[in-house]
Amino acid sequence: MSSTADARNSHCRAQPHTAIRRQPALTERVSVLLPAHRLIPALTKGTSVITKNAALPAIAAFVFVSLGLNGCAAPASSSPESRGDVPVTITIAEPVHGIGYLPLYAAIESGAFEEEGITVEVTTLTGGGHVSSVLSGEVFGFIGGVESGAVANVKGASLKGVVNVVNRGNVYFVAPEGEEPKAGEDLGKYFEGKTIVGGRHGGTPNAILRHILIESGLDPDTDTILQELEDSAAIPSAMNAGAADIAVVAEPQLGLGIAQGLWGQPFLNVPAELGAYAYSSIVVPTKTIDENPGLIQRFVTALIKGQELIEGDPEYAFELAQREFATLDPAALKATLDRAYEDELWDGSCLSKTAIETNLKVARAGKILDDSSIKQSYETVATMTFTGDC
């Protein structure tokens, strides 16, 4: 295999079987490689984070490389599938380091992936880089909304979600304490004319924001002022500077902002508003599913163990969250997790048709997904092959 091909498939390489260990993440804006005891500082350009890793050149976050759709393009003679349960290392890209992804982190820390002969590394890529890195073939898959895969599919890719992680729209609308809408106030009138800060256009939180505004009878682009930040880590700074009236945030930002007095309790709880919603799933190229179903099954089996661990053991979830988000105040972190359980953020690993259809509906309504030419549906963006029916 050429050196170019080796680099392209570095996310799916056979390696000696090693124990999975890692250090806790220090901040949200660091690329976390697990389990190799490495914390790779993020290089910033504007508000986008570029991973300091030769296997993830900055250009990969912006260039669509058609050959990268293979996921794991090693020849049959050296592919993990053809050699049985040979230990392999794979990389999952995440758009942020978030509380919602605790099941993935739990599967790593608990050794569930190790039991399946897999070492999982996680790298944080903002600004849509988590999707682009899959399209370029630099990583095995990404954790995020299936609508991101649908958008890529319309443009010629072929991506599918194989297991769910966050089953609620993990987004909350907040405003400075005392400036929230009054009880019973029309949200359309409240939102109109205000500056709202949130994540990048095309991201899942942004799709939800636009959907809520449209449902409130507004045109997001003319009736409000949207600050759509490439790096959601900058949202608290915008609110602290008085540059926005409303913020759309996820955990742990929500709890941290409450503790710091940047905003009050959420006035709009999206998990309760939208119900079952495929907010964060593991999405991979369909070619990987076709060529390495055994590897996918082993990965999903391990992740389900992590999911069950978080759902069934809140005390462990808190301890893990403290390691992953060491800079957060324990009381704020506890409140964050209490909210996550109350809102049923984690609700099994199956990608239900209801959760997928809600996701795609919101993405279309928010004008993030235009699939009028190449229709996207449950069958094109997800599979229950590896989790079983819901």
Q: Per mean pLDDT, which range of 73-87, 235-249, 332-346 is the poorest?
A: 73-87
- Looking at this protein, which amino acid is placed at residue 234? A
Q: Is the pLDDT of residue 3 over 60?
A: no
Select from 26, 230, 38, 202 the least CA-distant residue to 122: 38
Quick check: is 386 in a domain? no
Q: What pLDDT, on the 0 to 100 scale, is given for residue 55?
A: 38
Domain check: are 97 and 236 in the same one?
A: no
Quick check: is 233 in a domain? yes
For residues 152 and 38, which has the higher predicted lDDT (pLDDT)? 152
Q: Can you tell me the mean pLDDT for 184-209?
A: 94
Domain check: are 53 and 22 in the same one?
A: yes
Give tens-digit pLDDT for 138-186: 999 999 999 999 999 999 999 999 999 999 999 999 999 999 999 999 9
Q: What pLDDT, on the 0 to 100 scale, is given for residue 92?
A: 98
Domain check: are 89 and 221 in the same one?
A: no
Half-sphere exposure of 370 (CA within 13 A, CB side): 3
Quick check: is 310 in a domain? yes
Domain check: are 241 and 332 in the same one?
A: no
Residue ending a domain, choose from 242, 273, 304: 273
Q: Is the pLDDT of residue 58 over 60?
A: no
With a CB cutoff of 8 Å and minimum separation 6, the contacts of 185 are none
Quick check: is 390 in a domain? no
Q: Please tell me the distance from the alpha carbon of residue 110 to that of residue 262, in angstroms, as a whole number.
A: 35
Instruction: Report how many domains make up the chain.
Output: 2
Domain check: are 154 and 21 in the same one?
A: yes
Domain check: are 146 and 243 in the same one?
A: no
Give tens-digit pLDDT for 294-309: 999 999 999 999 999 9
Domain check: are 146 and 229 in the same one?
A: no
Structure confidence at residue 239 as a pLDDT band (50, 70, 90): very high
The three-class DSSP label of residue 170 is coil
Report the 3 state secondary structure along 217-283: CCCCCCCCEEEEECCHHHHHHHHHCCCCCEEEECCCHHHHHHHHCCCCCCCEEHHHHHCEEEEEEEE
Q: What pLDDT, on the 0 to 100 scale, is given for residue 376?
A: 98
Q: Is the pLDDT of residue 45 over 70?
A: no
Structure confidence at residue 219 as a pLDDT band (50, 70, 90): very high
Domain check: are 127 and 56 in the same one?
A: yes
Domain check: are 261 and 289 in the same one?
A: no
Q: What pLDDT, on the 0 to 100 scale, is given for residue 354?
A: 95
Q: Is the pLDDT of residue 60 over 50?
A: no
Q: What pLDDT, on the 0 to 100 scale, is given for residue 245?
A: 98
Domain check: are 267 and 283 in the same one?
A: no
Quick check: is 129 in a domain? yes
Q: Is the pLDDT of residue 187 over 90?
A: yes
Q: What pLDDT, on the 0 to 100 scale, is given for residue 85?
A: 57
Q: Please tell me the distance from the alpha carbon of residue 6 to that of residue 287, in angstroms, as a whole number.
A: 18
Quick check: is 16 in a domain? yes
Q: Is the pLDDT of residue 188 over 70?
A: yes
Q: Please tell me the distance from the alpha carbon of residue 373 to that of residue 131, in angstroms, as a whole number.
A: 21
Q: Is the pLDDT of residue 51 over 80?
A: no
Residue ending a domain, choose from 273, 303, 328: 273
Q: Please tell me the distance from the alpha carbon of residue 95 to that of residue 77, in angstroms, as a whole number.
A: 34
Residue percentage of the chain with pLDDT more than 70 = 78
Q: What pLDDT, on the 0 to 100 scale, is given for residue 84?
A: 52
Q: Can you tell me the mean pLDDT for 245-249?
A: 98
Q: Are 282 and 172 in contact (CB under 8 A)?
A: no
Q: Are 11 and 119 in contact (CB under 8 A)?
A: no
Quick check: is 295 in a domain? yes
With a CB cutoff of 8 Å and minimum separation 6, the contacts of 128 are 61, 95, 148, 200, 202, 203
Q: What pLDDT, on the 0 to 100 scale, is given for residue 47?
A: 32
Quick check: is 23 in a domain? yes
Q: What pLDDT, on the 0 to 100 scale, is given for residue 122?
A: 97
Q: What is the CATH number of the domain that holds 226?
A: 3.40.190.10
Q: Please tell me the distance from the alpha carbon of residue 283 to that of residue 301, in angstroms, as a whole number.
A: 15
Q: What pLDDT, on the 0 to 100 scale, is given for residue 41?
A: 30
* CA distances in angstroms from 154 to 8, 75, 150, listed in the order given: 23, 28, 6
Q: Can you tell me the mean pLDDT for 286-298?
A: 97
Residue percentage of the chain with pLDDT more than 90 = 70
DSSP 8-class letter at 213: H
Domain that holds residue 22: 3-169+276-381
Domain check: are 198 and 164 in the same one?
A: no
Q: Please tell me the distance from the alpha carbon of residue 46 to that of residue 281, in angstroms, as a whole number.
A: 28
Domain check: are 247 and 344 in the same one?
A: no
Task: Give the sheet arrangement for strand 246-249, strand by strand.
Answer: 225-229, 195-199, 246-249, 172-174, 268-269
Q: Write down the number of H helices and E strands in the chain.
A: 16, 14
Select from 42, 46, 66 the least CA-distant residue to 56: 42
CA 196 to chain CA mean position, Å: 22
Q: What pLDDT, on the 0 to 100 scale, is given for residue 66?
A: 35
Residue ending a domain, choose from 273, 301, 320: 273
Burial label for 219, CB within 10 Å (0-12, 13-18, 19+), is exposed
For residues 263 and 40, which has the higher predicted lDDT (pLDDT)? 263
